[in-house]
Amino acid sequence: MDSQTSLASYRLGFIGGGKLAGSVIRGLVRAKFCAPGLILVSEPNESARRILEHELGIIGTAENSEVAEKSDVILVGVKPAVVVPVLTELAPLLERKLVVSLAAGVRIASMERVAAAHFMRAMTNTPSAICRAATALAKGNRTTNTELSSVREIFSAIGVVVEVGEEQIDAVTALAGSGPAFVYTVIEALARGGEKMGLASDAALVLSTQTVLGAAQLASETKLSPEELRKMVVTPGGTTAAGLAAMEELKTTAGLIAAVEAAARRGGEMAEENG
């Protein structure tokens, strides 16, 4: 047993407890992945740290070095521009440790240049808070099969997991990472359409949200293609056909595709900026 292993007292350590990392932590606690007291989170914002401690029962600290020193698996949830500087500062404590970056736009090669840790990337999203995450994993040059299995186990507890090559991570960032915001825009637009046609705003939002939730759940459980599911709703000359025609005229589908493309391009640009 080396000295780092003997120091480890937490199963999971998070460097940063912001929106995405906080969502992952909430999901893991909700899923009972491990006891909350086995999760250590470094967060410089005291009020945010206290909320996580009191709400979830995890252990908080203001020191990144404490997480690096005492955790078996370290998940980095700071802003992309801060990832490499933080890892550089902690490098002596990270040797041979498993470190998983949650950040968009920071390549594994950039992290491997500054520390001798075993790096991976996990691109996930905020629905992880309710165990409905969509996560893609990309392993690094030093990642072992055992480490990959361990990280898959972590994220499988809070949703679905796929493995991709790192060259595909920007697309995952756009689709799964940014995707919830695109879906919320769809929910909002459907609700506004209902309001325009006379529904009260609260009723329209409830119906819109549940419609998207139900449609997604049906797609997930039946494994039917979107085209097959769409045909189950459409009657030629009916209301759905009229609505789909309006969407086609306004290029709604093209707009959503463009949103994913733009987000993916921005992910690539960020990688260049943070390289």
Measured between alpha carbons, how far is residue 223 from residues 216, 217, 219 in Å? 10, 10, 6
> Band of the pLDDT at 194, cuts 50, 70, 90?
very high
Kindly give, in sequence order, each residue whose CB lies less than 8 Å from that of residue 72, ignoring residues fewer than 6 positions away: 8, 10, 11, 12, 13, 98
Residue 178 DSSP symbol = S
CA angle 64, 79, 163 (to 5 degrees): 95
Tell me: pLDDT of 244 over 60.
yes
% residues pLDDT > 90 (the chain): 92
Tokens of 208: 């819109």
Across the range 64-78, mean pLDDT stands at: 95
Kindly give, in sequence order, each residue whose CB lies less than 8 Å from that of residue 95, ignoring residues fewer than 6 positions away: 4, 115, 116, 117
* Residue-level pLDDT at 3: 38
> Band of the pLDDT at 7, cuts 50, 70, 90?
low
Kindly give, in sequence order, each residue whose CB lies less than 8 Å from that of residue 208, ignoring residues fewer than 6 positions away: 187, 188, 190, 191, 194
Across the range 8-20, mean pLDDT stands at: 89
First to last CA, the chain: 35
Kindly give, in sequence order, each residue whose CB lies less than 8 Å from that of residue 128, ignoring residues fewer than 6 positions away: 20, 23, 24, 26, 27, 135, 155, 158, 159
| Phi-psi domain of 144 (left: phi exceeds 0; alpha: psi -120 through 50; beta: other) | beta
Domain final residue, candidates 146, 169, 192: 169
Across the range 36-46, mean pLDDT stands at: 94
* CATH number of domain containing 187: 1.10.3730.10
Closest CA to 76 of 29, 9, 15: 15
% residues pLDDT > 70 (the chain): 97
Q: Does one domain contain both 14 and 95? A: yes
Choose from 47-51, 63-67, 268-272 the range with maximum mean pLDDT: 63-67
For tokens 């025609």, name the residue. Answer: 245
- Local structure of 23: helix, strand or coil: helix
Q: Does one domain contain both 7 and 117? A: yes
- Local structure of 160: helix, strand or coil: strand
In a 10 Å sphere around its CB, with 0-12 CB exposed, 13-18 middle and 19+ buried, how is residue 174 labelled?
buried
Q: Does one domain contain both 164 and 183? A: no
The CA distance from 53 to 239, in Å, is: 50
CA angle 146, 141, 157 (to 5 degrees): 40
Domain final residue, candidates 142, 169, 196: 169
> Band of the pLDDT at 55, cuts 50, 70, 90?
very high
Average pLDDT, the chain: 94
Across the range 230-237, mean pLDDT stands at: 94
Residue 229 lies in a domain: yes
Q: Does one domain contain both 145 and 185? A: no
* Residue-level pLDDT at 213: 97
Total domains in the chain come to 2
* Residue-level pLDDT at 63: 95
Tell me: pLDDT of 28 over 90.
yes
* Residue-level pLDDT at 8: 57
* Residue-level pLDDT at 99: 97
Across the range 65-76, mean pLDDT stands at: 95
Tell me: pLDDT of 156 over 90.
yes
Please name every residue paired with 99 in a beta bridge, in sequence order, or none if there are none. 74, 119
Residue 97 lies in a domain: yes
* Residue-level pLDDT at 275: 66
Tell me: pLDDT of 5 over 60.
no
> Band of the pLDDT at 271, cuts 50, 70, 90?
confident
Sign (positive/negative) of CA torsion 174, 167, 108, 96?
positive
Measured between alpha carbons, how far is residue 177 from residues 136, 173, 247 in Å? 10, 5, 25
Residue 188 lies in a domain: yes
* 8 A C-beta contact, residue 133 and residue 185: no
- For the stretch 93-149, pLDDT in tens is 999 999 999 999 999 999 999 999 999 999 999 999 999 999 999 999 999 999 999
Tell me: pLDDT of 10 over 90.
no
Across the range 42-47, mean pLDDT stands at: 92
Strands, sheet with 71-76, edge to edge from the N-terminal-most edge strand: 59-61, 39-42, 10-15, 71-76, 98-101, 118-123, 133-139, 159-163
Residue 205 lies in a domain: yes
Q: Does one domain contain both 75 and 209? A: no
- What is the residue range of 35's domain? 3-169
